[in-house]
Structures are given as structure tokens and as C-alpha cells.
Structure 1
Amino acid sequence: MFIDIPSGLEAALIDLPLPTWKLEGSFLAESTMEWYRTELKATPRFEETAATLRRALTGEGGGYAVLRLGNLAKALGPDDDRFLRLVTGFAAEVAVPFSPFPRWPLWKDIGVKVDKDPGKSSGIGYNAFHMDLVNGTLPPDYTTLLCVRPDPLGGGTSILSDAHAAVARLAKDSRALLAESVYHYGTFFDLFGVGEECKPFPVLDGSDPGAGFVRFTGKMPERSDLGQAHADAARELAEELVRGQVSLILQPGDYLIVNQRRFLHGREALRSGQETVPVADRRLLLQLFLRARADADSAV
């Protein structure tokens, strides 16, 4: 699921001056997406690369991809505005970029805070498998992470797992428990574009096998008031997700896109000694969410 950028396309993108984006509410403006698309389609092999990316995310057996933009990041700077516009242009070929957090810009920083809850996205510990915005009635269809800096000590491996494959390995009784609306997790306030709060919610939404969201976070069994049977079913699913996990280390410029209707994601712990690393040198990711277009294929 790693997608390299053809050298001719890289050379053309380095010199491509995409304009500053505009937003319509919390979503990337349609005018910006059309402008980006027009400029990018004129570069050699862009459409071919974008089609490969979409197939990796929505085709049979797919659900995630890593677009390798390291050379572009090195040439332009991994957090330079020109580079972020190019990455946003690729993202817009998949779905509509948006920010559910009004207090954050389109791209949200995920740095490292040694005094944060270790299991949080900005913590230093193991971040269990989860779906982002799990408690919204309309979670983002895609969650994406752009690596600016990996953990200089070598930790923080990204982990992914096919949620529907994990569910299929569960016993029928466990699946029945996960389909009941008894689960809840997290707070819900000051959010855009993700619907209303869903509390409680079912992990399995009743869609046909292999379809729909698997509303899960590995933190639910310990942080929700669940009966023993429902908690055990959630733990069984967590174990199956780990059994089927894929691990990868993101390098500078790597752009990970996860189809949340198919895969869940998480992170292994960062290496010990983070307090000795200067803040400016610690692991840094930028996060962007995507909403599938209304006319997108039903598998998306």
C-alpha cells in the first residue's frame, strides 16, 4: 500500500505554485478543489497516481495507503505552505478535506507532550486501535496523517488493522453483543461536520458484513460503564485487531490515508527518553480529515 511518486511528476510538482486554499465553513471550498485539480491534472502522471491512490483505499482488499512524498518534503520543507497545498490537492482527489475542530486550522498538529495521557494521540505510550470521532453520527470517512518528523529515538510505529476482517473472526454471540447500543466513549462539543453526538452507540451498525463503520476504540472497555459481557466482547475485538495488525514506520513526507469504513488505526509507544529530546525535534504529524462526496461509490 506504499505509493511512490514518479520522478517526472515530482519534478513538476516542485515548481507548481498552487494558491492558498479557501474554506466554506469547515470544508475545503469547491472552488479551491477545482483550481487544485485543474493545475495538478496538467502535470505528468498525476491522474494515474491519483487513481492508484483511490484504488488502494476503496478497491477490493484495500483500505489504507501511504503516499510517499519524501522527496517533495525535502525539496520544499515538510511543513512549508507550498508542500501542504500539494498534499491537500492529493487528499482532495480522494474526498473533501475538512476540519471538525473550529479552534484548529485545516491541518491539526499532533506533537509529543511527555506530561499528556500516554494513550492520547500526543502522548508517548501505546495508542490502542480506534476510529477517529467515534462518537459522532457522521464520523470522518477518512483520517489522514502527514509525517513531518518521526520519533528520533525510533519508536511510534503506526499500526493498522482491517476492522471487518477482525469482526468476521469473532463468535456469533460476540458480534450480537457488539451490535447493541450500549457503548460510549469520549466527549462531544464544539465540533463541525460530524453530525450529532452518538451516545450510546453500537460497535456494529447493522450494515451487511464487511460494510459500514466499526465504531470502536480500544479504550472503551476500561473507560465505559459496561456490563461484563459487553466489555468482554469489546476486548475480544481488540485482540483480533492486534492479531491482524499491519505495522509501518512513517518517514518525513509519508502521507498515510485510512479509510475509516474499513480500517482502524493506532500507534505503538514512542521510545523511552522522550523528555531528553528537544520539543522542536520530537515526533510531529499533521492530521487532516476527509468526507466522502455524496456521489462517491457506496464502498467509500
Structure 2
Amino acid sequence: MLSGAAGGYVVVRLRNIAQALGIGDQFLHLATAILAEVAIPFQPFQRWPLWKEIGTNLDANPGLSTGTGYNAFHMDLVNATQPPDYTTLLCVRPDPLGAGASILSDARAAVSRLSPSSRALLADMTYRYGSFFNLSDVGEEYRPFPVLDDKPADLGFVRFTAKMLIESGLDEAHAHAAKELADQMVAGQVSFTLQRGDMLIVNQHRWVHGREPLGGGQHNVAPGDRRLLLQLFLRNSGAGSR
């Protein structure tokens, strides 16, 4: 389900275990052991623990992962030469207001629906996004980078984040090609709401992810009751030699 032309993501439902154990150290040890059967857990952000919290911050930019608005399609660490092969999101608390569905899209399928001229523009080393500091085991900063590379799908990436449409300072042609790709991703998206104990694993070589807006009225929800995910990254064995 995670590899092959028809695969790219999976949800592992550990709800009963979360109910029995709670989501503390014992549960996280179990979840990490399960993920270690997929690939190697690693810690690219040295200022955060292996399981990085993605909470709900009412003061954050709404479009960020910790914000309350629409978090558009992206891959994680898009500006690293060796991004994580998999990103994992574990739901500790869903949005109590019933919103904030996870969204995913097959990036490879979206690319296949583009014109040859758009694909050629996306292969140019023109795109930029994000900063790069206090990171380890993800190679070097990649700036500028191409959205499309010439590697096979199991090695290369569709290096996309919708935020680069605003921050890259792109010329009209390259911006239009990236917007076309974004539109195709939205057209092919799937969505579902993670529940407590659900663990989403996304193959970053094939799929991108994001989030629908959280429910309105978050200021009426106690901070300890707001949506909370934990994120962990995985590296295929031998990936560092690529």
C-alpha cells in the first residue's frame, strides 16, 4: 500500500490500543516499533524530539501546520537534497469541532495530467521555499530546486509546496505551471478525518498531504482539548547513499 504505482499512503488504526494505554511513552514505543518495520525512524529537527508535536496555535499563520486554516498540499522538507522518504502523522486529539480533515493527493498522477510544456517548466531549477537550519540527515539545502526531477518514482520526488507560489518570486510561466499542478492535486484529492490513535504514513515520493480548516470557534475550545498530532519521519535504508 505504500509502494508501487497504485500505493502511496496508509492509515494504521491503533484506536483500541490508544484507549487501553493512553498515548504516552508506552504507546509511542509501540508505534515507533511498528514504523521501524516500514523504514528507519530519524530526527531531522534537532530542536524537537523524535515525535514532533503539531498542535493548534490560534496566533499562528492559519495556513501553517499549527494554524487553524487550510494547510495546502505540500511535501515535508521540500528544500532538502534528501527529504524524508515517509512522513507519519499520529492523531492524539482530533478537532473537537469535527473539522480539520487530512487531505492527500497522488502527486505523480497529478503530474501525468499536465501538458508537456508545463512539465518542462516544472523541471527547471527555479523554485524556492523555506529556511534551512538546525537540520540533520536530510542532506544539504536545495535552493533553487526543480519540482520534477529525472529520477524514477521510488528515488525522486515531486518537490511541491503550495506556499512556494507566494514566496518564490516566480516568473509568470513557472508560476502558472506550478498553479496548474496545484489545481490537479486538488482535483484528485482524497480526504478523511483521523481519530485518536490513527497513524497516517505517507510515501513522499508519490503523495503530498495537507489539511482542511479546523472548525470555527477554536477560541471557545480549551487549549488542552484542541487538535494535536505527533509527527515522525522515516528514511529508507541506504537512502543516504543516493
TM-score bin (small chain): over 0.9
Instruction: State the alpha-carbon separation in 2 of the partners of residues 262 and 208 from structure 1.
Output: 11
Say if 2:153 and 2:205, in contact at 8 Å, map to a contact too. Answer: no
Instruction: Give the aligned partner of residue 14 of structure 2.
Output: 69
Say if 1:160 and 1:264, in contact at 8 Å, map to a contact too. Answer: yes
Instruction: Give the aligned partner of residue 42 of structure 1.
Output: none
How far did residue 227 of structure 1 move? 0.3
Change (3 A) 1:103 1:208: closer
How far did residue 223 of structure 1 move? 1.3
Instruction: Give the aligned partner of residue 9 of structure 1.
Output: none
1:44-85 deviation per Cα after TM superposition (whole angstroms, max 9, x unaligned): xxxxxxxxxxxx11134010000000000000002x111000
Q: 1:165 aligns with which of 103, 109, 116?
A: 109
Q: 1:224 aligns with which of 168, 184, 188?
A: 168
How far did residue 210 of structure 1 move? 8.1
Residue type at the aligned position of 1:59: G
Instruction: Give the number of the structure whose residues are more often helix, by fraction.
Output: 1
Instruction: State the alpha-carbon separation in 1 of the partners of residues 232 and 152 from structure 2.
Output: 28
How far did residue 135 of structure 1 move? 0.1
RMSD: 1.3
How far did residue 208 of structure 1 move? 4.4
TM-score, normalised to structure 2, is 0.97
Instruction: Give the aligned partner of residue 265 of structure 1.
Output: 209
Instruction: State the alpha-carbon separation in 2 of the partners of residues 192 and 239 from structure 1.
Output: 33
Change (3 A) 1:211 1:292: closer
Instruction: State the alpha-carbon separation in 2 of the partners of residues 197 and 144 from structure 1.
Output: 22
Say if 1:100 and 1:194, in contact at 8 Å, map to a contact too. Answer: yes
Secondary structure class of the residue paired with 1:230: helix
Instruction: State the alpha-carbon separation in 1 of the partners of residues 137 and 152 from structure 2.
Output: 25
1:193-238 deviation per Cα after TM superposition (whole angstroms, max 9, x unaligned): 1110000000001224786200000111111110000000000000
How far did residue 246 of structure 1 move? 0.6
Say if 1:164 and 1:210, in contact at 8 Å, map to a contact too. Answer: no
Identity %: 64
Instruction: Give the aligned partner of residue 83 of structure 1.
Output: 27
Structure 1 regions of 5+ residues with no counterpart?
1-55
Query: Is residue 254 from structure 1 mapped to residue 198 from structure 2 by the alignment?
Result: yes
1:120-148 deviation per Cα after TM superposition (whole angstroms, max 9, x unaligned): 10000000000000000000000000000
Secondary structure class of the residue paired with 2:27: helix
Pair member with larger Rg: 1
Q: 1:174 aligns with which of 99, 103, 118?
A: 118
Equivalences for 1:1-300 in 2 at 5 Å?
A: 56-78=1-23, 80-208=24-152, 212-294=156-238
Secondary structure class of the residue paired with 1:160: strand
Say if 1:164 and 1:211, in contact at 8 Å, map to a contact too. Answer: no
Runs (4 or more) in structure 1 with deviation over 2 Å come to 207-211
Secondary structure class of the residue paired with 1:71: helix
Change (3 A) 1:208 1:88: closer
Residue type at the aligned position of 2:25: D
Secondary structure class of the residue paired with 2:179: helix
TM-score, normalised to structure 1, is 0.78
The size of the alignment, in residue pairs, is 240
